[in-house]
Amino acid sequence: MDFLPINLRLRDQPVVLVGAGVVAARKARFLLGAGAILTVIAPEQDAQFRALGEEFSLTWQQREYAPGDLAGAIMVIAATPDRGVNESVHREARSLNIPVNVVDSPDLCSFIFPAIVDRSPLIVAISSSGASPVLARSVRSRIEAMLPAATADIARFGRLHRDRIRAAGESEGERRRIWEQIIDGPIAQLILSNRWQAAEQALAELLESHSTSAVGEVYLIGAGPGDPELMTFKALRLLQRADIVLHDRLVNPDIVAMARRDADKLYVGKRRSDHSVPQDRINELLVELALEGKRVARLKGGDPFVFGRGGEEIELLAQRDIPFQVVPGITAGNAAACYAGIPLTHRDYAQSVRFVTGHTKDGELHHRWEEFLSNTETLVFYMGLVGLPIICRELIAHGRSKDTPVALIERATSAEQRLLTGTLGSIESLVESAKPQAPTLIIVGKVVLLAERLRWYGSG
Ligand code: SAH
């Protein structure tokens, strides 16, 4: 992070603006809007300053800038067309340790202005650290669209009742929960629809009925195959409510980082051979944490109910009557197929698809291989990298042609995604030389041939 965003109180503070052109006028409006005592130094003023002068009070010193002008200021902006003047302003500001912004000269700025979405008292500031102001503005317009103008009223409502709400909750966690009920629930909706009185009444009821002895809740969340954009809205919303997040190796760290900053994050494994926390212990942990009143997000790669042991993890919760929700995720089979340009079904090539575990036990794979012989069915093997030689050997031994197309998709949806294609007869030797890394997914069937035709820029 090159710049730390902060919100600065400028009310009644002296600020100097050197220059009075169109860009300076824009900055002046921000500064005056934030209550600064503004001194503008410039021999001439753009017409916009007249309008500003009528709306706000500001001092214009009609002359060139001279060293010594910055004494006492808490912030300086230079916006003259003359690089030499801008540099002198910068030099003086630095020698006095006054934060300085020189318009259009990032090298002369000790601070920069972000793009702003103003729903005061809620303010959203977006900065690209000067790298791409146009990108920052584009993000701003997306956020603008997300936040109705009346969002400001929710913030004002919160400010007005902050002390009552603080008094109603006994712990930090409890207070947060009350706030969340206000912000995510009907009270916010009442405010947004301009029914302030009804909102106040609903708040009174909420604070009165609020019970202190809550059991927590567990969210078993499918986090998708890796690319954070493949999470669902619901997954994100519940993740951001959680007080603690349990995650394992398949979950992208960028997704874990989307949890609340103050939420605890607990890594619970597991690699093929390293089960950092054994499954039974994870199941118990979910119960214990929920009984402590915590909201627990259990993040699983892909979908929790596809080779995810999600069923086991919630069984104990169900037995103990602990509230839980299960959020489906995009399973690796779907994601890897799409990102490799391989449709799992296709009118001409595959009328069904089968998800199969390739996880070996004692070096063996126990399947009814005779069920896997249809030429019009796509087979998707999870956890199949180690067992690949067995899969190929058994399929061929039971009658599938050596020429049956096979795809192996390594780290699907990540920047490192790789696609290897071959046949049941050839894929093993391809794997030996390409040495793909886990996680990998194996797809068997004629649809694999389409990868070449349906190749797109994300398809590896
Ligand atoms: N619940 C998960 C699957 C867990 S089993 C899901 O629904 O996706 C773990 C296996 O999933 C891995 O061995 C691999 O075969 C597959 N897998 C998970 N993420 C993957 C990815 N990004 N790319 C390729 N395969 C992946």
What's the CATH code of the domain at 101? 3.40.50.720
Smallest CA separation from ligand 1 atom 11, residue: 382
46, 264, 265, 270: the catalytic one is: 270
69, 153, 248, 303: the catalytic one is: 248
pLDDT exceeds cutoff 60 at 137? yes
Same domain, 341 and 432: yes
Distance 224 CA to ligand 1 centre (A): 9
Same domain, 304 and 222: yes
Same domain, 101 and 191: no
In a domain, 134, yes or no: no
CA 382 to chain centre: 27
pLDDT exceeds cutoff 80 at 294? yes
In a domain, 141, yes or no: no
Q: Of 220, 221, 227, 250, which is best to mutate to test ligand 1, by the most ligand atoms within 8 angstroms of its C-beta?
A: 250
Distance 289 CA to ligand 1 centre (A): 27
Same domain, 308 and 352: no
In a domain, 118, yes or no: no
pLDDT digits (tens, 9 = 90+) for 401-428: 999 999 999 999 999 999 999 999 999 9
pLDDT exceeds cutoff 70 at 274? no
pLDDT exceeds cutoff 80 at 241? yes
Same domain, 277 and 339: no
Distance 225 CA to ligand 1 centre (A): 7
In a domain, 120, yes or no: no
Q: Domain range spanning residue 199?
A: 151-209
Distance 387 CA to ligand 1 centre (A): 15
Q: What is the CATH number of the domain that holds 316?
A: 3.40.1010.10
Three-point CA angle 264, 269, 270, nearest 5°: 155
In a domain, 30, yes or no: yes
Smallest CA separation from ligand 1 atom 3, residue: 307
- Residue ending a domain, among 113, 140, 167, is 113
Same domain, 221 and 180: no
Query: Stretch 36-61: mean pLDDT, rounded?
Result: 94
Percent of the chain beyond pLDDT 90? 79
In which band, very low, low, confident or very high, does the pLDDT at 332 lie, cut at 50, 70 and 90?
very high
More confident residue, 249 or 90: 90
Same domain, 236 and 338: no
Percent of the chain beyond pLDDT 70? 97
Smallest CA separation from ligand 1 atom 6, residue: 302
Mean pLDDT of the chain: 93
Same domain, 166 and 106: no
**Rg, C-alpha atoms of the chain:** 30
Same domain, 343 and 295: no
pLDDT digits (tens, 9 = 90+) for 433-457: 999 999 999 999 999 999 988 888 7
Q: Of 220, 307, 326, 459, which is best to mutate to test ligand 1, by the most ligand atoms within 8 angstroms of its C-beta?
A: 307
How many structural domains comprise the chain? 4
- Residue ending a domain, among 297, 312, 330, is 330
Same domain, 99 and 168: no
> Which atom of ligand 1 is nearest the CA belonging to 384?
15
Query: Stretch 14-26: mean pLDDT, rounded?
Result: 96
Same domain, 202 and 251: no
In a domain, 121, yes or no: no
Distance 306 CA to ligand 1 centre (A): 9
- Residue ending a domain, among 306, 330, 354, is 330
Check residue 150 and give its pLDDT: 86
In a domain, 170, yes or no: yes
In which band, very low, low, confident or very high, does the pLDDT at 270 lie, cut at 50, 70 and 90?
low
Confidence (pTM) = 0.73
Q: Is 118 a catalytic residue?
A: no
Q: Is 435 a catalytic residue?
A: no
Same domain, 282 and 365: no
Query: Stretch 211-230: mean pLDDT, rounded?
Result: 86
